[in-house]
Structure 1
Amino acid sequence: MNQPLAYVHPGAKIAKNVVIEPFTTIHNNVVIGEGTWIGSNVTIMEGARIGKNCNIFPGAVISAVPQDKKFNDEDTLTEIGDNTTIRECVTINRGTTDRMKTKIGKNCWIMAYCHIAHDCVVGDNCIFSNNSTLAGHINVGDYVVLAGMAAIQQFCSIGSHAFVTGGSLVRKDVPPFVKAGREPLSYVGVNSIGLRRRGFSTDKIREIQDIYRILYQKNYNNTQAVAIIEAEMEATSERDDILEFIKNSQRGIMKGYLSTN
């Protein structure tokens, strides 16, 4: 690797076939895996662990210190999985003592101007459209899609296979397999299009719809709905994922569109 117009700290560990374009800066304590491309004017700061075959576009800043006044220069990380693309001017901050890392999964696509704050954990195969913003300590499952300008409040969770519409303000947890939209954010149906694209059968999608009808369309409170789902719906991995998400929700799950409060 010979990049006379890029700065690579001698302490950085860069695989032999990584491409680093001019005017990029790579700090100490950075690891970058094979086949990764780093565009011009990228800044990769201490604690970055970037996987194989990633693409990082100009203007991105990876592993900057958290925007958290409690941060005291702890030795924390930013982990980015294999085959993930990070587009122009994305900012990803490293962790704090809460989780010691910020983690982005494999095969993700993080579009221009997104921000992912400290201690977020993002699953595999996620798509974050332009200007999506994650505050600190957020959990995002696999195959989550955030449309443009979605803003997620700190400590929220978004379940796997969920779709959040553009411009949404997410203040409550979004369960798996659903579409979330409107203001305030509400359940607007099962993400059936996304599930079909990922190989879910029609019967499986109907099962998920039946579960959410009990939760969101029968005027039960969450405790009642969970009890009915457990008693009446066959135990499957999807049913159990939904129930576990609801039971573990710290902020409470978003409301249904028929709710008046």
Structure 2
Amino acid sequence: MSREILLTAEQLHIDIPGRGDGSALSFSIARGQIWGVLGPNGAGKTTLLHSLAGLRKPRSGRVLLKGRDLRQQRRRHIAQQMAVVFQERPDSFPATVLESAMIGRHPFLSAWDMESADDLAIAREALARMELAGKEQQLVSTLSGGEKQRLAIATAMTQQADLWLADEPGNHLDLHHQVAVMGMMREQAAAGSAVLLCLHDINIAARYCDHLLLLYPDGSACWGEAGTMLQTAALERLYRQPLRVLEDQGERVFLPCTDRPYCDED
């Protein structure tokens, strides 16, 4: 049985100043899938995420959300369908942890509506899942970097969106919380959402993603099922770094190789 397509890129060229068009990106993300975007610094991962979210105009092409052109949809409607976790967020105004988490319910409220008891319960459940339940009345400005990241993810959880776009969701997180966040992303997909993650860690992508998009610095790109994309030669060219591959309980682990230089045979 085919699964509903939630997000589609059609002949999309992301706009990176000083670089040509590169590859046209044409792919679709369906319910239940977890896509990982891999690439070195400057390859365009964050720009792609912003373009898919409708926050940055692409050079050409278009993005469809549930089959409709993103440009023809209101931001409130988009926010009801799509949760976005940014890599960095400024502390723009004083707010408590609970108040910040409740922002995720705002797309579902009318202009003069107050949050309901159900909205409050949804936010508190998300905070508890991110191990922030005891910090509800604490000011966001007093949190550590990792706690702020977990709050951003909890805020996205309160949206209860069908589609997740997350830029380095493990940013600032210790190992325990990285595993917890990725486990939560896997649960979201298993429940019928679709997830796209910009990542630096090949091993996180190998463990949790079923599809991968590789963005090269020259603007070229390739994408497909993770088992097809996780080829050592392609990853070495992506990062210009030789790799070693180990097998552990049926999983491949990619490690940087320091005993030989990278050699581009092209």
Instruction: Tell me the TM-score normalised to structure 1 length.
Output: 0.25
Q: Tell me which structure has the larger Cα radius of gyration.
A: 1
Higher relative contact order (CA 8 A, sep 6+): 2
Higher percent of residues as helix: 2
TM-score, length of structure 2 as denominator length: 0.25
